[in-house]
Structure 1
Amino acid sequence: MLILTLNCRSFSVQYQLFDWGQNRTLASGNVERIVIGDTFLIHKVPGKEPRQLDADCADHTQALQFVLDTLTDAKDGVLPDVASIRAIGHRVVHGGERFTRSVLIDDDVVAAIKETANLAPLHNTPNLAGIRAAQELLPDLPQVAIFDTAFHQTMPEKAYIYPLPYDWYKQHGIRRYGFHGQSHLHAARRGAALAGVPLERCNLVTVHTGNGVSLCALKNGVSVDTSMGLTPLEGVMMGTRCGDIDAGIVPFMINEAGISATDMDLFLNQKSGLAGIVGRRVSRRTVVDEAVVGDARCQLALDMESYRLRKYIGAYIAVIGKPDAIVFTYGEGWEDWPVRGMALKGMEQFGIEVDLKRDEEALRGEREMLISADSSKVKVFALPSGEEMMLNEDVAAIMGWPVREAGAA
């Protein structure tokens, strides 16, 4: 029961081959610089050194073929042939209001994903390219779409309707959708288990971290609010995204500086956030190192990130009441993100106390950690991202395979 999951972006494809029956990852990796040129693949097999392979991939179909060739390669592969793969799972960022759960892909689903591409053109368009590539290369395999937005469809109207003309919502779908659904679901399940509270009675604040950052408020185990909105641009400050700003800044700068709508979108999504404050795209580790030696703008960027994160945590506590836990989930690079400890510092009035030694140990990543002090009234956990496992679980459920508790430690 082998599952191939794909996360297709504009110029990259992230993949994982998972053995559901044996509960283990056989291989994973990334294809980078698709379309751009000088394409390369980083292939990882547990217990072996990662391998970098080079090829020219002009589109997502060629990139997926590169992945399949690597998985079945006599030297670097883990499969005798692609016939061993039983199903494919696709991460799809935006499902609009139609999709409240993962679905088996057919022509109607493909059409619906295409229709919602206007809500997330930078994401749904390459997601759809990956689906079409898999349909072309592996036409006989069942394929499943797993939507980032589905988890947040439990939000009440008061949380997802914007204070804009109501017709905009009815005619154009302008509302809060939220993202990182698989990550927040995994964090909620594990947070409830670690806190010793049944999920259906558990109140949580979950925080997905990385270049994109989002928070979710969960009441009795379901999403009641989340920081990202119609697009992944809203919310806290991120690596290159601005997060919440005065909407009046957009028309002001269009008129003041002659910036086009297209360029404004680029500024807000790719040249703001940490990169905007520091003045260049750099890793958080570089920002931290330069802040330590006195770079004022790097220090400002860290202070801004932690301040805005603290504001959201406080707001969500006001929404859900006393949380059973706050859960931070991270992917690669979490060791470069010390903002977590900075954000929680000084929150003792909310019953939140961080153990600095535990927090420092957790920065190494790779395992679930309690980072709050024993005296803290609210438990705080840091744990690895479970997005891939959530994708696998949904594929297995739709295939009718036995489903275990995903992410169980």
Structure 2
Amino acid sequence: MVSKNVLVINSGSSSLKFAVIDSQSGDALISGLGECFGLPEAVIGWKFNGEKVQEAISDLENPHQAAVSRVVKLMEELGFCDSIVAVGHRIVHGGEKFDSAVRIDDEILKEIEDLSELAPLHNPAGAKGIRAAMSAYPSLPQFAVFDTAFHQTMPEKAFIYAVPYELYEKYGIRRYGAHGTSHYFVSREAAKMIGKKVEETSVITVHLGNGASVAVVENGICLDTSMGFTPLAGLMMGTRCGDIDPIVIEFLIKKGWAREDVFEMLNKKSGFLGISEITSDVRGIVEAMNEGNKGAKLAFDVFTYRVAKYIASYLAPLSSLDAIAFTGGIGENSLDVRREVIKNLSILGFEEDVAGNEAARFGASGQIAESKMLGAKAVVIPTNEEFVIAQQSVALL
């Protein structure tokens, strides 16, 4: 069988992740990261056959183009060129325009750029990655897979905000969600794990990383999700505040804060970092908490409480629950976070499987708790967004 490999590019504002994915097996044949764009220490590194390599990026004025150019050269050096059939791009925001993956042309690229006001940190960077890849691979088809697309099945009662309806009609102000590619993958893997068809499964998917969100998926369809108009809403995150009374913004501006400083604080100085005043990394939070740091303990408690609260609230759209599926860097690896969330869900009958919880880490999936009252399991499933991007790209060829 001829391999159909896809070069997957995830372009951020100051970074660029890439991988060559076998679209049939989901295996990453090579993966890498360019980071610190815009800084003198900008680098690009990759892992291939167990070996890690890192190089400096010399073109600091055009780091995205330089990174993609290095990736192209790397593909040639490692002999991947003949097997790559497409380039797939992760794009954060597709608005209401895009409810599935699309092949990119000049018109699609312009629409992605036009949606930048809904994701100002993400879509412009995604567009840069697309332009660089189109220049490097003019003969290869390029596809965009949107983080918001999976959530476009939400009913109006779930995505409408309780503000004048004309704001939705004029400006598209509504809940869009994010992490859709991850929620899509994990909900389908959860169905496999419990031995049911996707079309007959009710799952709450919990993506916990530096960005975090919860989604409720019934019969393969997303019914609701915690992120909102932008990825700032919902759960507390590494540096993002999550749900907050919007009057806080007006209050701080009246106190003399500049508008830009308020939004900088809400996006980059809040969450774990803001409460603990130490770090945005949950590993550092847990370590400091175990050493008696009160700020770290408070940050940990706020986060795990809010995760459990969202999970419990997402029982409302369902008639039954088959599984709660944890994923993302924290969800896959933080034993302490999962243990506390399960503890906070004890009213629903969830009891931790201690051995299972300890085993399901660092790439391992498994069952970590069960509720005999609900007939539901809590499981851990490593996400694979790159595989979804590769699959959906090949499907459009």
CA distance in 1, matches of 2:312, 2:290: 28
Q: What is the one-letter code of the residue matched to 1:99? A: F
Q: What is the one-letter code of the residue matched to 1:50? A: K
Which residue of structure 2 lines up, in the alignment, with residue 383 of structure 1? 381
**Residues 1:334 and 1:201: Cα distance change in structure 2 (over 3 Å):** closer
Which residue of structure 1 lines up, in the alignment, with residue 307 of structure 2? 309
> How many positions carry a matched residue from both structures?
391
CA distance in 2, matches of 1:186, 1:24: 15
CA distance in 1, matches of 2:362, 2:179: 20
CA distance in 2, matches of 1:194, 1:22: 17
SS in 2 for 1:246: coil
Which residue of structure 2 lines up, in the alignment, with residue 372 of structure 1? 369
The CA deviation at 1:332 is 7.9
SS in 2 for 1:321: coil
CA distance in 1, matches of 2:177, 2:130: 22
CA distance in 2, matches of 1:227, 1:297: 25
The CA deviation at 1:66 is 1.8
- Answer yes or no: is the 8 Å Cα contact 1:33–1:40 preserved in 2: yes
Which residue of structure 2 lines up, in the alignment, with residue 353 of structure 1? 351
Q: Is 1:14 aligned with 2:12?
A: no
Choose which of 53, 75, 78 in structure 2 pairs with 1:51.
53
Which residue of structure 1 lines up, in the alignment, with residue 272 of structure 2? 274
Give the alignment of 1:115-126 within 5 angstroms.
115-126=114-125
**Residues 1:174 and 1:374: Cα distance change in structure 2 (over 3 Å):** closer
SS in 1 for 2:316: helix
The CA deviation at 1:57 is 3.5
CA distance in 1, matches of 2:367, 2:383: 15
Choose 132-141 or 17-26, whichever is displaced more. Answer: 17-26
SS in 2 for 1:345: helix
- Any idea what the Cα deviations from partners look like across 1:131-176, whole Å, max 9, x if unmatched? 1111111111100000000000000111101001111111111000
The CA deviation at 1:340 is 1.9
**Residues 1:15 and 1:184: Cα distance change in structure 2 (over 3 Å):** same
- Answer yes or no: is the 8 Å Cα contact 2:7–2:21 preserved in 1: yes
The CA deviation at 1:25 is 2.1
- Any idea what the Cα deviations from partners look like across 1:360-391, whole Å, max 9, x if unmatched? 222x3212211114857311110111211111
- Any idea what the Cα deviations from partners look like across 1:8-51, whole Å, max 9, x if unmatched? 001100000123356532100100112222211221114x2322
Which residue of structure 2 lines up, in the alignment, with residue 163 of structure 1? 162
Percent identity, aligned pairs only? 39
CA distance in 2, matches of 1:205, 1:378: 11
Which residue of structure 2 lines up, in the alignment, with residue 403 of structure 1? none
- Answer yes or no: is the 8 Å Cα contact 2:208–2:330 preserved in 1: no
User: Relative CO higher for 1 or 2, CA cutoff 8 Å, sep ≥ 6?
Assistant: 2
Q: Is 1:234 aligned with 2:245?
A: no
**Residues 1:337 and 1:124: Cα distance change in structure 2 (over 3 Å):** farther
Q: Is 1:208 aligned with 2:207?
A: yes
- Answer yes or no: is the 8 Å Cα contact 1:285–1:337 preserved in 2: no
The CA deviation at 1:85 is 2.4
**Residues 1:234 and 1:52: Cα distance change in structure 2 (over 3 Å):** same
Q: What is the one-letter code of the residue matched to 2:36? A: R
CA distance in 2, matches of 1:389, 1:262: 37
CA distance in 2, matches of 1:200, 1:70: 41
- Any idea what the Cα deviations from partners look like across 1:60-80, whole Å, max 9, x if unmatched? 11111122223333xxxx226
**Residues 1:340 and 1:232: Cα distance change in structure 2 (over 3 Å):** same
SS in 2 for 1:27: strand
Unpaired segments ≥5 residues, structure 2:
none
**Residues 1:23 and 1:280: Cα distance change in structure 2 (over 3 Å):** closer
Which residue of structure 2 lines up, in the alignment, with residue 395 of structure 1? 393
Give the alignment of 1:14-53 within 5 angstroms.
14-20=17-23, 24-46=27-49, 48-53=50-55
Q: What is the one-letter code of the residue matched to 1:317? A: L
- Answer yes or no: is the 8 Å Cα contact 2:342–2:369 preserved in 1: no
Give the alignment of 1:50-129 within 5 angstroms.
50-58=52-60, 59=62, 60-73=64-77, 78-79=78-79, 82-129=81-128
CA distance in 2, matches of 1:254, 1:337: 40
Give the alignment of 1:182-221 within 5 angstroms.
182-221=181-220
